[in-house]
Every structure is written in structure tokens, then in C-alpha cells.
Structure 1
Amino acid sequence: MDEADTADYTVPCAVCSAVNWAISVDLKYYCKSCHNVIDKIAEVDDHSFMDYANRVTDLASFRKRRIVEHGRKWKVCEGFQFILKHQAEALIRMGVPPQFKDSVLCQLWRMYLQKSRQAYTQNPVGSKVLCSQTGGPSANEKEGGPSITETEGPSAIEKEGCSEDSEAYLTLHKRRSNGLMNMNKTLALLYLGLLWCREALTLADLLRLVREGHLPFINAFECLPEEMKLFGRDMPIFRVQSIPSYTMVHRDACSLARYIKLPCFPPVGPECLQHPTLLTLRYLVLLNLPDQLHPWVCQVIHLVGLDKISTLTFDPRAHLPFYDVQAAALIVVTLKLLFGMDDCSEWYCRRRRLSLSARQSFSVRRWYRLLQAALVRARRREEDHTARMRWTSQKPIYPSWERKASYIKKRRMVDQLQTAFTRLTGSPAEPERPPPSSFRFRWGGEEGGEGAWDGPSLSHKTLDAVVKKQPGCETPVNVAYWHPALKKCIPWACRSHFEEDKATLPSMYCWLLELCSFLLGVKEALVHEEVLRVERLMIGPQQRTWMPERRDEGTTRRGGETRKSGRTKPHSDRKRGKPASRVNSKKKKL
């Protein structure tokens, strides 16, 4: 920066005769060779004054100037249409097929506009707002046409400079009754389009692209054309103060599909990338687990019946599956079947005489050390990226004409502080965007090999230490499977009980939930509920349900004991000489 600012000054230094000038903090020139300070002062742009303060205001043309500055008349749905267009183009640049924008998303948007009576209808919902502004219905509205005309004079729109129908979006009752769009619903509409196209991008991937800045969502109104000015009441409609959660977008997608009355989505078959067989294979690579674990996961999928097309296909009248969370839950259940994950079996598993070397066998201890270190580094990177994320936009929205001057002054002060910070630290104020990727971790080849970023790859390891081969089949060495109590509860009265049961769950199992929740960007309780749903499907048909269920107090552990509030007591079935609440793998072979 100093070389560019001092390039025009070529006078040699009076002390050392060198032409090597730099600018100090107080804007004075000094020689970098001998540190000689001269009287020359650098010329910089002074942003401390307001340009509009020195303007000569023409009162006669003040009304016309404000109309030109605020742009043309437009509706809020037009703004969301531009935002959806740029979001679709960003997804296309990241590998989504081009027909996603024109053939799928455009049709969904048209169906939404027609259902919400904002377009493609003879009685648009925006006509009521326009009537209240102009004092009566227009000629086009009486004839059943659109209510926006070119001959209408300036009214309340000219007074505040915002969009025409922004008032309808500011009332919660009107938004819900008319099904009006918001920024969170744009992500829900994108997710519905990806589900219809059966793309590989899951909802967790979509939200991660938003957090990393690859998908326009924060300050997405910057992509609006210049003639569509945002002012006043448009601020709470298009301004994003937080990124929505996974469950919030999932709920908006379900409600939006029911509101538009979409038909049943295309079937999710084994060749579809949303199928659990392919999703679990992707997450096994991401979690650095052995390749030999995938056949066991496929057997669990077949055992619980999640490979059926009718179960996986989304019907708007029914439940929308958590495809990515479901795949993570299947992996957790498979790990519990083979390794136990009860804070005992996975660390002290019975060693058999192996024909191969012990180094080729998968070790939970080594895997835990690698994943825990990678998890700590990834969390630190994410916290640093979140702290350096810039929420303010280059195109600010002013709440009113009277407060515009103060907003401009504050914005210039922020720009000056960021420029000074960048100059002092030598680092950019905004973090660099990492390239878009579906993998949060990168695993290299052998330990110490080239390209290992998060650690060596364990995909080539074998499961000989936990699997015993029998004639015609393979069975796990672990003969018991522990699970929390699966008592049903009222769906509308009970939510999640993970926080209540967390103290009784094994630490290794809680760490698995923590790992999966970080990779997917969801809460641990959601992964736990999905694991319980898979276990209900696996243990018995009498307990199968799609709703969250309350568990009994305590957790059924190995040995048929129930732990409650730190006390241990024998199980009631054990008193009568019956086996404990465990699933014998010999009775249900995979």
C-alpha cells in the first residue's frame, strides 16, 4: 500500500540519498532506509464531511428529485423473485443442472404466486393495499386486471419510498393468512426444488453454503436492480439478522409444500442420491470409517425397512424425512451393534487371534483421537469465520429520510475503522471464503503421507477384531445391544427429552451425537430422536412410530441394569429370571 501511495514522490532522501519512502500513522513521509522523517504529508480523501451538506437544494424540484431517487414502483414479490434467481444461479455454478432454475424452481414460484394471489390471478391480494393508498379501486382492478398502473400519482409510496405492498408483510396475521414469502422461505423453496430434482445437496449442505457465503442469503437484497430502491418499511422484510436453523427450514418446506398443494414427489430409488444407501456411504467417508462398515449399514437399512420407495418418497400430505440426519442415525446404530458404544465394549473389545497384522484392524481408540482433534480444529475455524463474518451490507437500507444522514455518517465511520484495521494488521477485515465442498474433513492416505490435512485415512482398515466369520455368514462379536427405554409419549405435548436423559447416556454415544450434529449443523437432540426412531423400527414392530417418543426414566444398560439419578437397581425382568432388555444378535442376525 505504501509503494502505491508514494510512487509519485521520487525525491532522494537528504540523509542517505535513497528513494524508499513510506507513510507513517500520522500521514508523514519517512525514509525506510534511514528512518528520516520529512515535512511532506500524504494527501488522503477526507470522508468526515457530508456531501449533501454542501448541496444547494432547489425547493421547486425537491418533490421530483425524491421520486427519481426512490426508483420505480415495485412489489415485494418482485424482490423475492430476483433473490431466488440469484440463489438458483449460485447453485448452478456449484454443479446443479441448469434445468433446475427454469424447469423446477420457476414452476414452483409460479404455483406459489398463483396460490397466494400475488400474480396469475384476476383478484390479486395487493389490490387491497393499493386501494387504501389511492382512495379507491382503479380501472384495471374493476375489470379484473392487475392493480398497478402507470398513470397513478405519487401517494404514500412517494412519501416513504418503499415498495407498494410492504405494509401487508409487516403484520403477522396477514403474512400467515395470505401465505406471504419471507427470506427463510426462499431456502425452503430451494430445498423443495432440490428434492424434486433428486440432487445430492441435502438441507444440511444448503445451510452450510449459506453460512460460508456461497449462497446469497445474508444481504441478498444487494442483488436487486438499481431501480428497485429499498427504503423504510422494506428493512424488516429483506434484512437477515440470523441464519435459520435446520428444523426451521424443514418445517417451512413442509408447510410450503402443503400450501401450494404439490403432488407426490418423484420416487427415491436406490439410484437416487437421497437414498440412505448412498448417503451413508458419503458420511462413512466423511467420518473416516472403514469401507467394510458399509455392508453392515446396508443390512441395517434393509432390516428396519428404510430402503422402501414408499417410505423415502416425500408426500406433502405426510411426513418429510430427515434424509441426512437419518443416514447419520443409521451409522450410529451400526456402530452400536458392532462396537457397543457403551463406554466399555469399544475400548476393551475381545481380541481374537487374527491372521492379519493388528495394524490393519480398525481401532476405535485411534479413530477417536483423530476425529476429536479434527473436530476441535474445525470448531475453531468455524468460530473464527463466524466472528469475522460481515453482516452489514454495502447497500444499506435507510429506515426513513430523516435518519438517512446519520446512517451515512455511521457507515463512513465504519469504513474508516476497517481501513485503519486492515492497514495496521496487514490482514483483510473479511475472511476468505473457502471453496464450496460437501466434506467438512479431508482425510489423506497413509499416516504421514502427502495430502493429509485432518489426518490419515482409515478407510482401508478391517473389522476382523469385532466380526467373527461363520460358515455362510458373518456375525458381530458383540452379542448385546443397549438402547434407552422406548416409551411412547404424546407428540403434541412432548418435544425432546435428550437433555433430561443425557446424564444417563454413555459418554461415547453422546460424543457420536456431538460429532454428527456438528457435521450436519443440527442439534444433538434431533440426531438422538432419529436414532431412537431407527431403534424402534429394528427392535419390534409394536413400537414403530414416526413421532418423537418419551423414554422411561433411566437407560437400559448392559447387564440388565437401569441407572437413575446415580443409583443402580436390578431390572424388574431380572427378578423373575427373564433376560434383560437387550437385543440378542443371534436371534436377529444381520
Structure 2
Amino acid sequence: MPYNCPVCNNDDYNEIDGHFFCTECQTQSQELIVQEVSGDTEVNFRCEVKVAEAGTHTLTKKPKVDLGRPWTIYEAYQIIILAQVDGLIEQGASQDLKDVVFTIWANYLSNLGVAFCSKEKLVPDVVTRTRIGRRRELHRGTFSNPLNRRKRPFSERSSKGCHETSHLMGETFYDDDNPVDEINDNIVFLDDSNGANKTQAAKRFAARRSRVAKSPEWMDMNKTIAICYIGLMFTNRNILPIDVVRFVYESKVPFLSVTHLLPPDMVLSARDKALFESSRFDTKTLSAEVSRLLSYMKLEVMPTPDLDVIIPCFVHQLCLP
């Protein structure tokens, strides 16, 4: 069986002092060697044996993994909103929808204070006020380490005692990684054997997070569609929430799966995937999100659907007399 040179792929070798060297590039083979075997018979002799594999291991460099660059959740949601607008235009929405939705999006970010304002914030007020945030919000990474890695678990630091509580109260933590909450709930929570306290704490946290998620300041996937629908209320007032929901579940508007829309340099890490998931989406959810956003952005006077157009459409679709 020929052994090709790993450098030039040549299979011809020269033997020098028991080692084999490539005749083309002079690279020493790590697979072929010469061993001497002596046999005690009436006539002493030596025979040379080529050993195919000497059991030696060569050090290989691991391929460098592209970690991408730092990015924010609002940057990712903006890419998704643009794709959703394109999908709605393909379904008959006006071309003006792009400009209208961008204006609404800029208005929303300006109200949050994270962009399009004189003094931008790293995180919106809802995060600092409720002390519930997402890792990508709280730690967007650096160019040398763009991954928003999880902090060291608090259980590893618990031996330091409760005297850290006053110091930790002034810090901002991840959504389920807040040691202050764990201390305040019960110090037994860290080493609880039956898990009862842990379950109760998890339920309390889930209730808190559910309340925060309903805030118009908490950007998520449901609000991407809601912002698009507010734009439709200006450009295509006869497209109803039920139409948008149908577009979503027919995969005509990106929503159920959107991570493929992100560019390659926006690498997902930690729990980034959860940013692009939605546990529930229907007309009731969409209408509620739209109502909260309109109130938050102070858009009180909005165009209403034209009933003279909507009613005949329903009559025709439902085959009513």
C-alpha cells in the first residue's frame, strides 16, 4: 500500500539511516521506518522490515472557528422586519410599506432610547427597571470575543456568603442568572435537595418574565410582525390581522423560522436562538401587540379598514348569499 507524502502527494521515498524522505520535497515520513531484527541460528543474519505504521502521532492544528462579530438584538430584528416587509409586498402590499415601516421602527427605537436619539442607551429602561434581560442585550461581546458567553454559575461563588448581596444589587444580570434573586428567595435554593424551593423560584421568575414580555419596550418576534402591521394600517388598511397570520403560517412572511436570514458574521451563541422563537401567535396576540405599540409610540389616530371593501370580500370568500 503506497503512502503518499502529506506535502506534495508523492509516493516515492529514499531511505536514509532508517528513515524515509520524500524524493520530491525531502519531507520525512511519519509512517515508514526501518527496524532491525536479529535471529540466533547457525548463521547470524539481519533482516530489514518496513513497518507501515509506527504508531506515531503528528500534531495538527484545529481549524479556526469563525466567531463572527458583536451584534445587538435590534440589529437582528431589523433584518427580520425588512424580510417580513418584502414578504408582505409579494402578497400585494404597497411598495411604500418599506419606508413607512422604517419610520415606525425608527420611532420605536427612539422611544426606547437605544437608537435615533441624542443620548443612546446600551439597554432599554425596561431591563434596568425590572432587572430582567437577555444575554445578547447585556453582553453583546467584543470583536476579540463576540460570543455572549454565560457568566460563572452563582453556585460556584456561593461559598462567599450573603455579604455580597449589597454589592450585587447594583449590577445587571442575565435573565435567569441573577444571584440577587436567588439569595433573596432563599439561600437554601442553591443546595436544595428536594428541589421544592427551586421550583417555586422558577415559577415566580416565569411570572415576572411573562409580565415583562408584555411590555411594549420588550422587543421580540411578535412585535416584529406588529410593527409591520402598523405599517399596513397606513398603506394597505384592508389587509386584516387574520390575513397576516395566514401569511405567516403559509410561510409567505418570515416568522416561524428566521435565523437563516441573518448574515454569516452574526453568529448565534448562548441563548440567542430563543430571541427568534414565539410560543404563541394568532390574531388575538397580534391585535394586543399592535394596541400596546400604538399606545407606547403615541399613535392614537390610525386609518381604519374600509368596510365597503372588506364586507364584499368576506361574502365572496365565505360563499354567502
Alpha-carbon distance in 1 for matches of 2:224, 2:94:
19
Identity over aligned residues, as a percent? 25
Shift of the alpha carbon at 1:277? Answer: 2.2
* Residue 154, structure 1, aligned to residue 192, structure 2: no
Establish whether residue 197 from structure 1 lines up as the match of residue 231 from structure 2: no
The answer on whether the counterparts of 1:219 and 1:240 sit within 8 Å (CA) in structure 2 is no
Tell me the amino acid that sits aligned with residue 246 of structure 1.
T
Task: Tell me how far apart the structure 1 counterparts of residues 222 and 88 of structure 2 sit (CA, whole Å).
Answer: 17
Instruction: Name the counterpart of 1:277.
Output: 308
1:498-577 matches, within 5 Å, as none
Does the 8 Å contact 2:216/2:296 carry over to 1?
A: no
* Corresponding position: 1:288 with 2:319: yes
How much has 1:208 moved relative to structure 2?
A: 0.5
Partner Cα distance (1:158, 1:56) in 2: 29
Encode CA deviations 1:406-442: one digit per residue, 9 max, x unaligned: xxxxxxxxxxxxxxxxxxxxxxxxxxxxxxxxxxxxx
Q: CA-to-partner distance for each residue in 1:312-343, whole Å, 9 max, x for gaps?
A: xxxxxxxxxxxxxxxxxxxxxxxxxxxxxxxx
Distance 2:312 2:116 in 1: 44
Partner of 1:81: 78
The CA distance in 2 between the partners of 1:199 and 1:166, in whole Å, is 42
**Contact 1:210/1:217 (<8 A) preserved:** yes
Match of 1:239 among 277, 282, 299: 277
Offset, 1:236: 1.5
| Structure 2 counterpart of 1:288, one-letter code | C
Q: Distance in 2 between matches of 1:110 and 1:159?
A: 31
Q: For residues 137-171 of structure 1, give each alpha carbon's deviation from its aligned partner in whole angstroms, at most 9, with x where no partner exists.
A: xxxxxxxxxx99998753873679xxxx9946998
- Structure 2 residue 121 is matched with structure 1 residue 124: yes
Q: Is the 8 A contact 1:76 1:166 kept in 2?
A: no
Between the two proteins, the alignment pairs up a number of residues equal to 202
2:268 equivalent among 209, 230, 236:
230
In structure 2, distance between residues paired with 1:166 and 1:216: 31
Tell me by how many angstroms 1:199 deviates. Answer: 3.4
Provide structure 1 residue ranges, at least 5 long, that are not aligned to the other structure: 1-54, 129-146, 269-273, 291-590
- Whether the 8 Å CA contact 2:93–2:235 is kept in 1: the answer is no
**What residue is the counterpart of 1:220 in the other structure?**
258
What are structure 2's unaligned runs of at least 5 residues? 1-57, 126-137, 152-171, 178-207
Residues 281 and 155 of structure 1: is their aligned pair in 2 closer, same or farther, counting only changes over 3 Å? closer
Normalising by structure 1, report the TM-score: 0.31
Name the CA distance, whole Å, in 1 between partners of 2:260 and 2:213: 24
Relative distance call for 1:169 and 1:223 in structure 2 (3 A) is: farther
In structure 2, the partner of 1:92 is 89
Q: Distance in 1 between matches of 2:108 and 2:176?
A: 16
Aligned partner of 1:206 in structure 2 is 244
User: 1:90, 1:215 within 8 Å by CA — same for their partners in 2?
Assistant: yes
Q: In 1, Cα distance between the equivalents of 2:146 and 2:253? A: 36
Question: Secondary structure at the residue paired with 1:205?
Answer: helix
* Alignment partner of 1:255 is 2:292: yes
- Structure 2 counterpart of 1:109, one-letter code: W
Task: Give the partner amino acid of 2:74.
Answer: C
Cα 1:193–1:151, aligned 2, differ >3 Å: closer, same or farther? closer
Deviation at 1:238, TM superposition (A): 0.9
**1:307-386 maps to which residues of 2 (within 5 A)?**
none
Q: Deviations over 1:365-396 (max 9, x none)?
A: xxxxxxxxxxxxxxxxxxxxxxxxxxxxxxxx
Contact 1:96 1:199 in 2 (8 A): no
CA gap of 1:148–1:213, structure 2 versus 1, over 3 A, is closer
> Per the alignment, in what secondary structure is the counterpart of residue 280 of structure 1?
helix
CA distance in 2, matches of 1:169, 1:195: 37
Shift in CA distance, 286/152, structure 1 to aligned 2, threshold 3 Å: closer
The residue aligned with 1:586 is none
Contact persistence 2:80–2:258 (CA under 8 A)? yes
For residue 71 of structure 1, give the secondary structure of its aligned residue in structure 2: coil
